[in-house]
Amino acid sequence: MDSSTEHSSSKGPELSLAEAVERRRNFAIISHPDAGKTTLTEKLLLYGGAIQQAGAVKARGQQRKVTSDWMELEKQRGISITSTVLQFDYLTNTINLLDTPGHQDFSEDTYRTLAAADNAVMLEDAAKGLEPQTKKLFEVCRMRSIPIFTFINKMDRPGQEPLSLLDEIESELGLTTWAVNWPIGSGELFRGVIDRRTKEVIVFERAERGKQSTELKLKLDDPNLNDLVEKDLLEKALEEIELLDAVAANMDIELIHAGELTPVFFGSAMTNFGVRPFLDSFLKMAQPPIARMASDGVVDPLKPDFTGFVFKLQANMDPRHRDRVAFVRVCSGRFQKDMTVNHARTGKSIRLSRPQKIFGQDRLVVDDAYPGDVIGLNNPGMFAIGDTLYTGKKVEYEGIPCFSPEIFSWLRNPNPSAFKNFRKGVNELREEGAVQILYDTDQSKRDPILAAVGQLQLEVVQHRLEHEYGVVTRLEPLGFQLARWVNGGWPSLENIGRLFNCKIVKDPWSRPVLLFKNEWNLNQLIEDHPSMQLSSVAPVVSGVEPISL
Ligand code: G4P
């Protein structure tokens, strides 16, 4: 398909709402760069028939024509900013894979995408174990207690002891683990896995690159096993399983759904080993689209009225249209093309005539969508992150919180005559959620402070200010790395008195935010003022307009 093409989706057989919800599984992959997210995604798409050959996901990225200034930036940096939702059918399921931008430099969008996910796959490199980005993303999943499925990747390479990988998850994340399969050897001596439930050995055969592996299954007492797996490796694996059976928790689907127990799978995405068994088990254990909390209580996905919320906005996906797209997670009811919906924040009604599904660069005009699906809507500046759309009785979902930024920089406008455009750009980009804005408490320092999760967010903001608003700006980094909101706001801060080694600023809702240079300064302050309650995530404010520049 050409890039940026639009198609009309062919209508399949009409499903009842209950059937559509039952067959849907929605998840995001959380991982550190290089753990193999692209490779795993590709293999999953391959099984789902959504792509025909391995390499297509990357090739698509590399072949991509310059489709916007923003993508030009993406191209220069050789990374993927554009997160999309990949939908594909596999067996009797419809799977929505929410693609999280994974580069180390990026971004609050990654966190927001997790707000739309019902399940997460935590992907680890067997040699590296838990890595920083994974831990941060895990914390966001934990806020909503979503089920976590762990895939320990790159078993074809030398890795850490499997038992210590499980220990690390238990001790660092406080998650109980339940290994679904157990590896026999590792690296050059990786011979396969034992399925703990069936006690079958799945033998690892290095498949030709890009091809699906054969997945030979043998019973433990099969005499052929001796020719394929060294005796000592098999014995070691069986002893370890015995140990797990003796000490580990039982696999309990309720604990999985509560986000307290993670099923663990070992495999190798690149060589295609263990991906299909993982997908099969995942689909059995993952939760279908779940009920969501709204202002008036929980909304069940089977509620016939359509409801959904905006979790991500993206500008300039296609420069020929200078378009903006709002991504909406459908939460209840059946969404239909040309539907008129209400916009909870403004009270306006809107007819949604061109809802889209976006697969990489391709657009598909959708006729209908169900809970767990994501649709893209053209956004002429109307939608903001966290907005609710609904039909029937008014519903307003809890918004999406602001996540702790880690990079802070003054944004200077050296040209006073461009102030109007500067102000418009800063306000619009903040509304869009491209970056967080903080303000100095000293009224004479009027320039905004940009606060971001990754450096690239700042570059995107500067780039867009220049190309969309005609304002060339200058960044002046502030040497802080951590932000904490003060529970209880200004009154609690006043009770504490003078604070050292931190800077007090305010967010657009005039709440105090403390900036710290490092963890040490933060811990010092917590030690000095044990009564002070700090939060790394800002609660959602509803019904109050934020301050503009
Ligand atoms: P990411 O999206 O999480 O950043 O990771 P990506 O899939 O791009 O994988 C990072 C590197 O790890 C790639 O190698 C990929 O081939 C390799 N990899 C992924 N899964 C496995 C696995 O199961 N075993 C082994 N041995 N390697 C794996 P690269 O050299 O950076 O790219 P490429 O030349 O292979 O495309």
477 DSSP β-pair partners: 409
Q: Which of 39, 42, 80 to mutate to test the pocket of ligand 1 (most atoms within 8 A of CB)?
A: 39
Contact 70, 314 (CB under 8 A): no
- Give the whole-angstrom CA distance, residue 384 versus residue 388: 9
Ligand 1-lining residues (CB < 6 angstroms): 31, 33-39, 102, 153-154, 156-157, 268-271
Give pLDDT tens digits for 363-401. Answer: 678 889 999 999 989 877 788 888 999 999 999 998 888
**The predicted structure's pLDDT at residue 446:** 86
Helix (H) or strand (E) run with residue 418 in it: none
Whose C-alpha lies nearest to ligand 1, atom 9? 36
308, burial (CB in 10 Å: exposed 0-12, middle 13-18, buried 19+)? buried
Whose C-alpha lies nearest to ligand 1, atom 17? 36
- Please state, as a whole number, how many other Cβ atoms lie within 10 Å of the Cβ of residue 62: 9
**The predicted structure's pLDDT at residue 380:** 76
Look at strands 537-538 and 482-486 and give their pairing: unpaired
| Span from the CA of 124 to the centroid of ligand 1 (angstroms) | 12
**The predicted structure's pLDDT at residue 80:** 40
Nearest ligand 1 atom to the CA of 271 is 23
| Span from the CA of 109 to the centroid of ligand 1 (angstroms) | 23
Nearest ligand 1 atom to the CA of 103 is 4
Whose C-alpha lies nearest to ligand 1, atom 6? 36
All domains of the chain in start order, with CATH: 24-285 (3.40.50.300), 292-390 (3.40.50.300), 402-538 (3.30.70.3280)
Nearest ligand 1 atom to the CA of 268 is 23
- Give the whole-angstrom CA distance, residue 360 versus residue 62: 12
**Which residues, other chains included, contact 514 with Cβ-Cβ below 8 Å and sequence gap of 6+?**
483, 484, 485, 486, 499, 502, 503, 504, 525, 534
3-state secondary structure of 399: coil
Nearest ligand 1 atom to the CA of 55 is 36
**What tokens does 99 get?**
């693609």
Contact 507, 513 (CB under 8 A): yes
Whose C-alpha lies nearest to ligand 1, atom 7? 36
Residue 215 — left, alpha, or beta (φ > 0 → left; ψ -120 to 50 → alpha)? Answer: left
Q: Average per-residue pLDDT in the chain?
A: 86
Q: Which of 30, 34, 156 to mutate to test the pocket of ligand 1 (most atoms within 8 A of CB)?
A: 34
**Which residues, other chains included, contact 473 with Cβ-Cβ below 8 Å and sequence gap of 6+?**
411, 412, 413, 414, 422, 462, 465, 466
**What tokens does 424 get?**
């418009």
Whose C-alpha lies nearest to ligand 1, atom 30? 34
- Give the whole-angstrom CA distance, residue 59 versus residue 44: 16
| Span from the CA of 34 to the centroid of ligand 1 (angstroms) | 6
- Give the whole-angstrom CA distance, residue 231 versus residue 222: 13
Whose C-alpha lies nearest to ligand 1, atom 22? 154
Question: Which residue intervals of 98-131 are DSSP H helices?
Answer: 108-115
Contact 57, 51 (CB under 8 A): yes
Whose C-alpha lies nearest to ligand 1, atom 25? 154
Whose C-alpha lies nearest to ligand 1, atom 10? 34
| Span from the CA of 270 to the centroid of ligand 1 (angstroms) | 7
| Span from the CA of 38 to the centroid of ligand 1 (angstroms) | 8
Contact 109, 326 (CB under 8 A): no
- Give the whole-angstrom CA distance, residue 486 versus residue 484: 6
Residue 45 — left, alpha, or beta (φ > 0 → left; ψ -120 to 50 → alpha)? Answer: alpha
Q: Residue 9 gets which letter from DSSP?
A: P
| Span from the CA of 157 to the centroid of ligand 1 (angstroms) | 11
CA angle 101, 106, 109 (to 5 degrees): 60
What is the 3-state secondary structure of 29-93? EEECCCCCHHHHHHHHHHHCCCCCCCCHHHHHHHHCCCCCHHHHHHHHHCCCCCCCEEEEEECCE
- Give the whole-angstrom CA distance, residue 137 versus residue 146: 12
Nearest ligand 1 atom to the CA of 40 is 7
Nearest ligand 1 atom to the CA of 42 is 7
**The predicted structure's pLDDT at residue 240:** 96
Query: Torsion angle of alpha carbons 447, 449, 450, 454, nearest 10°?
Result: 150
Look at strands 6-8 and 362-365 and give their pairing: parallel
**The predicted structure's pLDDT at residue 434:** 85
**The predicted structure's pLDDT at residue 467:** 87
| Span from the CA of 129 to the centroid of ligand 1 (angstroms) | 15
| Span from the CA of 292 to the centroid of ligand 1 (angstroms) | 36
Minimal CA–CA distance to 371: which of 307, 443, 324, 431?
307
| Span from the CA of 152 to the centroid of ligand 1 (angstroms) | 13
97 DSSP β-pair partners: 27, 86
Minimal CA–CA distance to 447: which of 479, 470, 416?
416
| Span from the CA of 139 to the centroid of ligand 1 (angstroms) | 25
- Give the whole-angstrom CA distance, residue 44 versus residue 42: 5
| Span from the CA of 272 to the centroid of ligand 1 (angstroms) | 12
| Span from the CA of 125 to the centroid of ligand 1 (angstroms) | 10
Q: Which of 270, 271, 272, 275 to mutate to test the pocket of ligand 1 (most atoms within 8 A of CB)?
A: 270
Q: Give per-residue burial for 94-132: e unless 16+ CB within 10 Å, then b.
A: bbbbbbbbbbebbbbbbbbbbbbbbbbbbbbbbebbbbe
Whose C-alpha lies nearest to ligand 1, atom 28? 270
**What tokens does 21 get?**
């919800």
| Span from the CA of 260 to the centroid of ligand 1 (angstroms) | 29
| Span from the CA of 13 to the centroid of ligand 1 (angstroms) | 38
Nearest ligand 1 atom to the CA of 269 is 23
Name the stretches of the chain with pLDDT < 50: 1-11, 56, 59-83, 104-105, 319
Minimal CA–CA distance to 51: which of 59, 42, 60?
42
